[in-house]
Amino acid sequence: MKKNKDTCEIKFVDKEKVDRARKLMRSDDIIIRLAETFKVLGDPTRTKIISALLAEELCVCDIANLLNMSDSAISHQLRILRNLRLVKYRREGKMAFYSLDDRHINELFEHGLEHVSER
């Protein structure tokens, strides 16, 4: 029988470590919302939109032009991002301008970029 080098060879549970980890774990509701956020950011188009909005507030037409996509396709992606509170919009006359919802989105994105750029 071939042994896995990346698993324990014996069964031993350190109950103190497990208890400490359990106390620090977030509720299932929070974990599910975080997983949904990462899932939404797993789409390259939505990631590009976030990247563009890091620079400045943009309207749907601006983003569509930047990404070479239709306004309706961008609107669909923005709706998904808005539903998870990753972006927000404000109206100015007949225009709707999008920006990141808060500084946390910027920080999350910047940390992700640092992580993938380190290799």
Is there a domain that residue 5 lies in? Answer: no
User: Span 71-85, mean pLDDT?
Assistant: 96
How far apart CA 31 and CA 24 sit, in angstroms, is 12
Q: Give the model's pLDDT for residue 118.
A: 83
State how many domains the chain has: 1
Contact present, 109 and 116 (Cβ < 8 Å): no
81 inside domain:
yes
Does the residue 113 lie in any domain?
yes
Alpha-helical segments (H) within the chain: 15-24, 28-41, 44-55, 60-67, 71-83, 103-117
73 burial class (0-12, 13-18, 19+ CB within 10 angstroms)? Answer: middle
Distance CA 108, CA 13 (A): 33
CATH number at residue 91: 1.10.10.10
Average pLDDT over residues 72-93: 95
Q: What confidence tier does 43 reach under pLDDT thresholds 50, 70, 90? A: very high
Note down the domain range covering 19.
15-117
* 8 within some domain: no
Q: Is the pLDDT of residue 16 over 90?
A: yes
pLDDT given for residue 3 in this prediction: 67
pLDDT(22) > 60: yes
pLDDT band at 5 (very low <50, low <70, confident <90, very high): confident
Instruction: Answer yes or no: is 10 within a domain.
Output: no
- The whole-chain average pLDDT of the chain stands at 92
Per-residue confidence band for 1, with pLDDT thresholds at 50, 70 and 90: low
DSSP letter (8 states) at residue 97:
E
